[in-house]
Structure 1
Amino acid sequence: MKFSQKINHISSSYIFCWYHIAILYDCDYFKKLGGVQIWLDAALFPLAIVGQILMTFGYRSQWVAWNIINIINIIIWYNQFMVNGTSISLSMLMLQIVMFLNSIYGSIIWLKKSKSYTI
């Protein structure tokens, strides 16, 4: 059995369970570091791993993961800008907005190409 076939057999509940365990572990880690937005920060890393695995195997649902990551990043940097008001926070907020628009564009292109290849 090929590795890609083995990945297809992993149940979604198994991935869902490990994703939440990783978030809880990251929350504890970020809390020890004195983080403020620990739930948002903790959700990014496991979601990025899921998105990367989906992208490696060419699944369309990878774009859902990347869009959610970008939305969470926009929320994080918006909150930072509202608290600090620094130009660094504003530039990071603008960067995250551009990355979100890029991921929307990428998902539209991907979906158009995948529809043209269907039999």
Structure 2
Amino acid sequence: MNFVNALEKIPGIIAQYEERTAKLKADVPQLEAIVAKQWGKENELKALKSQLAALDRKITAALAAKNEEQDGEENKQQSDTQRVEVRDNQSQATGPKETMVAEPVHIYASRRAFSGLR
């Protein structure tokens, strides 16, 4: 019986889909006109993009000039600090050798503690 009932409902479902299709077909010409229409703000967008690119170039050039000025000052400061560091290293070279050798003392101490436990 269910099969027969399903077959009886088919014409009603077909009618519903035909109504929906007719409504959607009526909207197609209007939607096609909207899609085919050229966007009015396209020229304005292109102009704004070119202005953005010009401003970006100006900002980059200004930052590059400032960085070059700062780099020149930093190079002078770095050369002064490097001279001071070299002088400090020379004073350490004349001191005892023990201060120049870095030994991990805490590792040796922990090994002695473990060796005593065994």
Q: TM-score range by the shorter chain?
A: under 0.3
Question: Which has the greater radius of gyration?
Answer: 2
> What TM-score results when the alignment is normalised by the length of structure 2?
0.23
Give TM-score scaled by structure 1 length.
0.23
- Structure having greater relative contact order (Cα 8 Å, sep ≥ 6): 1
